[in-house]
Amino acid sequence: MRVQGIDHIGVAVQSVDSALELYSGVMGLRVKKVEILEDRRLKVAFLEIGEISFELLEPLEGEEVVSKFLEKRGEGLHHVALLVDNLEECVKYLHAKGLRTLGTQPQKGAEGKRIMFLHPKDTHGVLLELVERMKGGETGEIHE
């Protein structure tokens, strides 16, 4: 298993547009991308901060995970995403070490990345997302 670095920091917000007023309008961070993930019922925006991005997560109607987080904790830090070189190998290694994942299969995340979350009870209360980028950048095929 090889962690290459932090891919992004996920922040749960009630409104991406309102959060962009602060992070982009006031703080001057560049908006890299805003997209709707229909299958996950999320509106996401990525803001660049050097090599790392801020991912703003707004739940859409029918979304349960981020909505529940906002109800319970309010807006704020949701997860830290670690970039890995091979998601399957990484998950296999972590399972062998006794760590649990949320779900059994990698999912398609924002920007076409492949993702999987580790159970926060196994990671000292931090929701960690494992991220594998697509080969050839955002326009390439998803690595199988």
Range 114-123 contact pairs with CB under 8 angstroms and sequence separation of 24 or more: 114/87, 114/142, 114/143, 115/81, 115/87, 116/87, 116/91, 117/79, 118/94, 122/98, 123/99
Predicted TM-score (pTM) of the model is: 0.87
Domain total in the chain: 1
Domain of 10 in residue numbering reads as 3-134
Asked if residue 140 is part of any domain, the answer here is no
* Predicted local distance difference test score (pLDDT) of residue 136: 57
* Predicted local distance difference test score (pLDDT) of residue 140: 34
Asked if residue 35 is part of any domain, the answer here is yes
Angle CA 121–76–21, to nearest 5: 155
Asked if residue 47 is part of any domain, the answer here is yes
* Predicted local distance difference test score (pLDDT) of residue 18: 97
Per-residue pLDDT tens digits of the chain, which is 144 residues long: 789 999 999 999 999 999 999 999 999 999 999 999 999 999 999 999 998 999 999 999 999 999 999 999 999 999 999 999 999 999 999 999 999 999 999 998 888 899 999 999 999 999 999 999 876 554 333 333
* Predicted local distance difference test score (pLDDT) of residue 141: 35
Asked if residue 66 is part of any domain, the answer here is yes
Asked if residue 141 is part of any domain, the answer here is no
CATH code of 84's domain: 3.10.180.10
